[in-house]
Amino acid sequence: MNYPVWQLDGAGGGLLIALMAIFHVYVAHFAVGGGLFLVMTEMKGIRENNQAIIDFVRRHTKFFLLLTMVAGGMTGVGIWFTISLLNPAATSKLIHLFVFAWGIEWVFFTAEILSLFIYYYTFGRMDNRNHVIIGWIYFGCAWLSLFVINGIIDFMLTPGAWLQNNNFWSALFNPTFWPALFFRSFLAFMLAGLYGFLTAVNLKDVVLRVRMVRYCALWLIAPFLLFLGSAWWYRAALPPELQVLIFERMPEIKPYLDAFIILGPMLMLGGLIMAIRMPQSITRPIAAVMLVLGLLYMGSFEFIREAGRRPYIIRDHMYSTSILKKDMELIQQNGFLQEAKWVSSREVTRDNMMTAGRELFNNLCLPCHSVGGPLNDIRKVTGNYTPRGLEAKIGGIHNFSPYMPPFAGSGLERKALAYYIAYGLNNRRDRMDDVAIREIGDEEIPAFNGESDKYVLLAWSDMGMKSYTDASGSWMILPPGGTINAQLIERGETPDVIVDGVTISYAVDPEFSDPAQQVDFWQNAAALYDREIAPNTGLSGNGLTGVMKPGEEWFTVSLLPVVPYTAERRYMPYPAFTVTAVSSAGEVLAATRVVAPVATEMGCQICHGGHWAVDNRAGLSVETAENILAAHDRISGTNLQGLADNNMPVLCNCCHADSSQDAPGNKEQLNLSAAIHGFHANFLGERGAMYCVMCHPADSGGATRSFRGIHRGLGLNCTYCHGEIEDHAISLLKAEHEQGKERAAVLLGNIRPANFESVDAVVPRRPWVNQPDCLDCHEGFQAPEVDTTFNRWTAGEEDLYRNRTDESGRLRCAACHGSPHAVYPAMNPYSPYRDVLQPMQYQGQFYPIGSNMNCKVCHTIDMEYEMHHPNMLREFRNQ
């Protein structure tokens, strides 16, 4: 932000520095180890009085000089040039902090050049003693160059005490200085043998060639154990959190770690093979291949070291984006564009989203990502995301991808960046407008004659907002399973709730009667639940037609296998059932219709890629589902994708308890609700209800719009009752933490409460048990004085709205008021009547049963006593 950014695009993502640095480092280590090789081999030749060996050294010196002095030396300068272009702020810091270290290194560099020239050009012209001294001077200076540079490089990884004391010596002799010095020194000696092969295999004298090749093999192999020891020391010297980061939490490093582990023994094996007497036609290509393997070996190590530093360029001091750690909070507060020097947009507006987004991208993403290039291509890692998903991802990515820095900008800047990446780089064409709802034509409202009918049949779904996840071949979180309840009331001045001697049957509308044709649940049910489940049958054995089970005061049929797809495979999330009460004599006493909402509009694909599976508006695609498994595997170290690939789809509640499905899960894992909300709150915070509806089917422009009760009409949204996702997640995680689950503490550590001073202020709650209570706002059943409730929970399941009864204890609240999220008067997007079938049937109006002084529906006379709950005998308030 202090400097302009070189807009590299395809060549970005560190490609230039990787190419320059890996080559240079490979040659530079040879320049050190090779120096020792030269002088020691020369001494061997002198000691043995063997001119052939000395001639070999002379030839090797020429190769050495041409390689190290020209390609090595110049690419060393090239690294300097390159880093100053890619990260001038960090370069400036390293130059200013280490100016005298660089100066010292330059002195050694000068002596290196002079001594190497002298060494080569005085071969055979200078007496042995002095010539060997010059050789030792060369090696000494080369190693001392390494000594200094090693300090600077490792400072970037482990700045150690410098962070507190700003002392040059603390910076140079940082915590990994010594192990890294030994590590690099032994590596340099090994490389000397590797490079030595190149000259040795070309010797004409067979005896000498075999001898020198074996000598080079010894150089390669002998330091290996010491090298391994120093590698272990190097690792041990890393701060513990860095060890965890590099070796456990960065799967992106794994290929390089694997390469480093595999290539070492391969080189050793190659060294042993080279020691075998073989013709030149074999040794020459082996030598060349081994040199390439050595380059890969070096490259994999450098990648590990560089990646381990992320998201910093100077660990705990400066991020890869050149932003100082100490400035991050200020930038997040004021916005990046306000604080940066080299931007033309100072704020994000509706008109400059693309321009501002590009400037944010240049500054905050380009330092590590290319656009369409071979390294860290931004398109590959963001192509799956819609702008909304990307915006969410950017906000929380640092919590789960520790190599990513926190987003350095405001909420609006995050939006602009996501907009630019999605539309400017990925050319996405996401649907921008609302889903066109296909309304139901003529809604059939059952007949009721208030004068002659003797019974009122009330029916309702347990849940007004219910989801089912398809793609069950991959995983299953919410199986099909709607529950319908019914109460039969015998009308009269003193009505009675009838259960005995009555049968209540139910039947789904014909177009929903064969869900097995629409979803693959039954094909995977056996694998998921370890038992056969007949097609079109729910988990409790119920089909889509049948008889409801009588209880003490009401009838229930649970886990109905209803899905939101019509026979024509159109998305329709509000299937209806006809419910009929029949006397033991077979007389139809009453009939009604009830909606059984079920949605598959979970917007996983917003972030996880893929697409809507059905009708471009709903349904979880296999592609999305697999991406989710991959993410789970990556973050939690599982192998769920492997299981799914082997026809073993994953049932989420096997591990994550879900009391709504009576699934005990694994006691050590977070329950499902805490895990999902706790994880996603890291990404979806600070955006209110807009992001609740990314997963829950209540988007006001979506295909379901299942928040449709009176509270929606009054302008409330999810957060009024359930809180912001941060607070919602904290409440769930705290309850889990109290159960001793450590993962809860990890997730809690990343989430900042939205409406509370601290996490301590949020009251823990269990999902599906501790919920907001209607009476929190409607205190004493009166008009509410507040419109929000959070942190006051129902004590138990029996206190939930869907389970509660009126003050008589006989009528369920939902029987008269409708399902949660669809309480009367509800407005269903598909039909104005679908959610108010019984109010319309019995009262000819949308309001709760009996409201607006409609006591006659059941009582047949007007009532003066508020027996069901106080404040009910009045005109309906919100007409």
Residues lying near other proteins in the complex (CB under 8 A) = 2-9, 16, 20, 51, 54, 66, 69-71, 73-75, 77-78, 80-82, 84-85, 88-89, 91-93, 95-97, 99-104, 106-111, 113-115, 117-118, 121-122, 124-127, 130, 134, 137, 166-169, 341-342, 344, 362
Closest distance to other proteins from the beta carbon of 409 (Å): 19
| Residue 198: partners with Cβ closer than 8 Å, 6 or more residues away | 63, 287, 288, 291
CB nearer to other proteins: pick between 110 and 334: 110
Give dist(CA 607, CA 381) in Å, integer: 11
Closest distance to other proteins from the beta carbon of 152 (Å): 12
CB nearer to other proteins: pick between 121 and 232: 121
Q: Could you tell me which of 865, 847, 849 has the C-alpha nearest to residue 857?
A: 849
Closest distance to other proteins from the beta carbon of 114 (Å): 5
CB nearer to other proteins: pick between 27 and 544: 27
Q: Is 667 exposed, middle or buried (0-12, 13-18, 19+ CB in 10 A)?
A: exposed
Q: Is the peptide bond before 311 cis (omega within 30 degrees of 0)?
A: yes
Q: Could you tell me which of 359, 324, 33 has the C-alpha nearest to residue 190?
A: 33
Closest distance to other proteins from the beta carbon of 98 (Å): 8
CB nearer to other proteins: pick between 166 and 583: 166
CB nearer to other proteins: pick between 232 and 342: 342
Phi, psi for 227 (deg, rounded to 5): -65, -45
Closest distance to other proteins from the beta carbon of 716 (Å): 46
- Helices and strands: H and E segment counts in the chain: 34, 15
Measured in whole angstroms, how far is the alpha carbon of residue 88 from the centre of its chain? 31
CB 488 within 8 A of CB 502: yes
Question: DSSP letters of 291-326?
Answer: HHHHHHHHHHHHHHHHHHHTTEEETTTEETTS-BGG
CB nearer to other proteins: pick between 4 and 510: 4
Closest distance to other proteins from the beta carbon of 122 (Å): 5
H-type alpha helices, 438-520 = none
CB nearer to other proteins: pick between 190 and 364: 364
CB nearer to other proteins: pick between 144 and 762: 144
CB nearer to other proteins: pick between 32 and 777: 32
CB nearer to other proteins: pick between 361 and 506: 361
Q: Is 769 exposed, middle or buried (0-12, 13-18, 19+ CB in 10 A)?
A: middle
The position carrying tokens 């082997």 is: 646
CB nearer to other proteins: pick between 7 and 583: 7
Phi, psi for 588 (deg, rounded to 5): -75, 115
Strand partners, 817: none
Closest distance to other proteins from the beta carbon of 37 (Å): 20
CB nearer to other proteins: pick between 107 and 622: 107
Q: Could you tell me which of 677, 678, 652, 676 has the C-alpha nearest to residue 744?
A: 678
Side-chain-side CA neighbours of residue 853 (13 Å) = 4
CB 732 within 8 A of CB 767: yes
Indicate the SS3 state at residue 555. strand
Q: Could you tell me which of 641, 645, 623, 574 has the C-alpha nearest to residue 822?
A: 574
CB nearer to other proteins: pick between 89 and 754: 89
Give dist(CA 834, CA 840) in Å, integer: 10
CB nearer to other proteins: pick between 110 and 333: 110
Give dist(CA 526, CA 464) in Å, integer: 29
Closest distance to other proteins from the beta carbon of 145 (Å): 12
Closest distance to other proteins from the beta carbon of 146 (Å): 15
Closest distance to other proteins from the beta carbon of 55 (Å): 9
R_g of the chain, CA atoms, integer Å: 36
CB nearer to other proteins: pick between 146 and 628: 146
CB 407 within 8 A of CB 332: yes
Q: How many CB atoms lie within 10 A of CB 380?
A: 11
Closest distance to other proteins from the beta carbon of 32 (Å): 17
Give dist(CA 220, CA 291) in Å, integer: 11
CB nearer to other proteins: pick between 355 and 545: 355
Closest distance to other proteins from the beta carbon of 224 (Å): 32
- For residue 136, CA distances in Å to 35, 65, 451 come to 8, 15, 115
Please report, to the nearest 10 degrees, the dihedral formed by the alpha carbons of residues 819, 821, 824, 828 taken in order: -100
Give dist(CA 380, CA 543) in Å, integer: 45
Phi, psi for 315 (deg, rounded to 5): -55, 135
Closest distance to other proteins from the beta carbon of 107 (Å): 4
CB 665 within 8 A of CB 656: yes
Phi, psi for 750 (deg, rounded to 5): -95, -10
CB nearer to other proteins: pick between 106 and 232: 106
Closest distance to other proteins from the beta carbon of 102 (Å): 5
Closest distance to other proteins from the beta carbon of 99 (Å): 5
CB nearer to other proteins: pick between 91 and 472: 91
CB 60 within 8 A of CB 19: no
792-819: b or e for each residue (b if 16 or more CB lie within 10 Å)? ebbeeeeebbbebbbeeebbbbbbbbbb
Closest distance to other proteins from the beta carbon of 333 (Å): 19
Question: Any idea what the Cα angle at residue 16 is, between residues 13 and 21, rounded to 5°?
Answer: 115
Closest distance to other proteins from the beta carbon of 168 (Å): 5
Q: Could you tell me which of 595, 599, 596, 597 has the C-alpha nearest to residue 445?
A: 595
Give dist(CA 133, CA 121) in Å, integer: 15
Closest distance to other proteins from the beta carbon of 118 (Å): 4
Indicate the SS3 state at residue 549. strand
